[in-house]
């Protein structure tokens, strides 16, 4: 096993440029601009190349649910394909468990995909000529595992995603939501450690989407895999993410927790995203808490705020108070105070 502190995925200066002779063009453009990514991208665009991912650098911790969000054409799908090596990154380094997969051999990549990586696709990518069971068992089949054994394993994951009884159906006989359950089951059958999901719920109806999101969170709670999740839906990102990276025109413009994204957007682009979001539901008390509240004992009218309480919930509890209110951690120790006025202020949508 690798070092506990090493991130599960580490991306360093990852570029994906499309066009004939892109790698040379990128090196030249970077040299020209003195390694300035923005200037290099501009130059590449001007010369007919498409810098779909520019200088992406971030880490994903083990067991973290990392969401990459952006509008269509922002490069998020390209980025996830670089990390899963469906596309060979033009430049940069992508380490999965400290192994640089950009330089991995073909053989090693096949091995990695068999043992470590799983992926779910927006339009499911189910094999039309195979039944549900065969679809799910396919990653085991390519490893040469016998039919009986792989079908047994497949039926376990099919149970997990709630499709028991549909094993013999063909994809065309299933609804959209059921199809994506098959896609999820297939990506899980080989016990992956890193799980890529490319807009898995975008093609589904809102109600089915919410249901699958909840089930997805339950599965994640059970399996605790490292996840890279792509979406264009800010609400989905906020609901699921430990951390969110926001992409625009091939560039990552901000990485942060849902609360950071909502409360401290770095620019108008990010602010625009979170504009219509009910911030009170996504930001927690911890993000507006000041100083340490050492020595404070709970008073008789203490509203009992917690660090992980949403702003909405906190505000409801201390509406009538004017004093700074103490905040308690799960162990019952006071960790700080919150001014109710700050709670209210944080919730206000900026009227720029």
Between 37-46 and 22-32, two packed helices, what is the crossing angle to 10 degrees? 130
Nearer to other proteins, 183 or 324 (CB): 183
Of 138, 201, 216, 229, the one binding other proteins (CB under 8 A) is: 138
281 binds other proteins (CB under 8 A): no
Draw the binding track, 142-181, toward other proteins (x: CB under 8 A; -: no contact).
xx--------------------------------------
Given the complex with other proteins, which of 115 and 147 has the nearer CB atom?
115
- Residue from 12, 13, 45, 141 that binds other proteins (CB under 8 A)? 141
CB of residue 225 to other proteins, shortest distance in Å: 15
Strands 194-198 and 226-231: parallel
Among 15, 49, 66, 121, the residue binding other proteins under the rule CB under 8 A is 121
Residue 74: how many CB atoms within 10 A of its CB? 23
Report the candidate in 52, 71, 49, 54 with the shortest Cα–Cα distance to residue 11. 54
118 binds other proteins (CB under 8 A): yes
Structure token digits, residue 259: 């609360």
Whether 79 and 96 have beta carbons less than 8 Å apart is answered as no
Cα Rg of the chain, angstroms = 23
Q: Which two tokens stand for residue 287?
A: 């993000």
The span of 9-17, 109-117, 148-156, 247-255 binding other proteins (CB under 8 A) equals 109-117
Contact in structure between 6 and 56 (CB atoms under 8 Å): no
The sign of the CA dihedral 228, 85, 125, 136 is: negative
Q: Which of 28, 86, 104, 321 touches other proteins (CB under 8 A)?
A: 86
Give pairs for 326-335: CB < 8 Å, separation 24+: 326/293, 326/296, 326/298, 326/302, 327/285, 327/286, 327/289, 327/293, 328/298, 328/304, 330/306, 334/293, 334/294, 334/295, 334/296, 334/297, 334/298, 335/289, 335/292, 335/293, 335/307
Which residue, 51 or 183, has its beta carbon nearer to other proteins? 183
Q: Least separation, in Å, of the C-beta of 311 and other proteins? A: 39
Q: Shortest approach of other proteins to residue 127 CB, angstroms?
A: 6
**Segment lying near other proteins (by CB under 8 A), choices 6-14, 96-104, 112-120, 216-224:** 112-120
Q: Using the rule CB under 8 A, which residue among 25, 79, 89, 119 binds other proteins?
A: 119
Rounded distance between C-alpha atoms, residue 40 and residue 33, angstroms: 6
Among 127, 145, 253, 275, binds other proteins (CB under 8 A): 127
Burial of 177 (0-12, 13-18, 19+ CB in 10 A): middle
Which listed residue (21, 35, 73, 110) binds other proteins by CB under 8 A? Answer: 110
Nearer residue to other proteins within complex by CB, 129 or 148: 129
User: Can you tell me whether residue 94 is helix, strand or coil?
Assistant: strand
Binding track, positions 333-352, relative to other proteins; x by CB under 8 A: --------------------
Whole-Å CA distances, 264 to 258, 272, 290, 333: 10, 12, 16, 28
Which residue in the set 41, 55, 84, 155 belongs to the binding site for other proteins (CB under 8 A)? Answer: 84
Subset of residues 198 to 237 that bind other proteins, contact rule: CB under 8 A = none
Instruction: Kindly state the smallest distance separating residue 187's Cβ from other proteins, in Å.
Output: 7
With H, G, I as helix, E, B as strand and everything else as coil, classify residue 302: coil
In this complex, which beta carbon is closest to other proteins, that of residue 190 or of residue 289? Answer: 190
Footprint of other proteins (CB under 8 A): 81, 84, 86, 110-115, 117-119, 121-130, 138-139, 141-143, 183, 186-187, 190, 196
């Amino acid at each position: 096993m690798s070092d506990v502190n090493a991130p599960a995925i580490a991306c360093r200066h990852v570029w994906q440029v499309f066009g004939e002779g892109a790698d040379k063009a990128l090196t030249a453009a970077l040299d020209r601009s003195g390694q300035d990514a923005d200037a290099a991208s501009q130059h590449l665009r001007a010369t007919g190349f498409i810098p779909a991912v520019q200088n992406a650098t971030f880490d994903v911790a083990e067991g973290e649910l990392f969401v990459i969000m952006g509008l269509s054409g922002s490069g998020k799908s390209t980025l996830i394909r670089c990390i899963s090596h469906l596309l060979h990154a033009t430049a940069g380094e992508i380490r999965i468990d400290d192994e640089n997969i950009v330089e991995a051999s073909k053989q090693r990549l096949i091995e990695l995909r068999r043992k470590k990586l799983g992926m779910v696709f927006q339009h499911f990518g189910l094999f039309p000529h195979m039944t549900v069971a065969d679809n799910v068992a396919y990653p085991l089949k390519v490893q040469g595992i016998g039919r009986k054994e792989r079908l047994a394993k497949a039926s376990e994951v099919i149970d997990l995603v709630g499709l028991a009884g549909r094993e013999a159906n063909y994809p065309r006989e299933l609804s959209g939501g059921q199809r994506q359950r098959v896609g999820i089951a297939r990506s899980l059958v080989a016990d992956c450690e890193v799980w890529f999901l490319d807009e898995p719920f975008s093609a589904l109806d809102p109600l089915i989407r919410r249901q699958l999101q909840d089930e997805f969170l339950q599965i994640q709670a059970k399996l605790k895999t490292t996840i890279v999740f792509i979406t264009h839906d800010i609400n989905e990102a906020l609901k699921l993410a430990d951390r969110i990276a926001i992409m625009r025109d091939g560039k990552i413009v901000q990485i942060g927790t849902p609360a950071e994204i909502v409360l401290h957007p770095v620019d108008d682009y990010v602010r625009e995203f979170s504009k219509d979001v009910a911030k009170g539901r996504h930001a927690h008390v911890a993000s507006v808490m000041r100083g340490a509240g050492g020595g404070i004992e709970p008073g008789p009218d203490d509203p009992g705020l917690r660090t992980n309480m949403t702003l909405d919930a906190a505000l409801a509890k201390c509406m009538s108070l004017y004093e700074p209110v103490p905040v308690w951690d799960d162990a019952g120790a006071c960790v700080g105070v919150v001014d109710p006025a700050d709670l209210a202020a944080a919730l206000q949508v900026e009227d720029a």
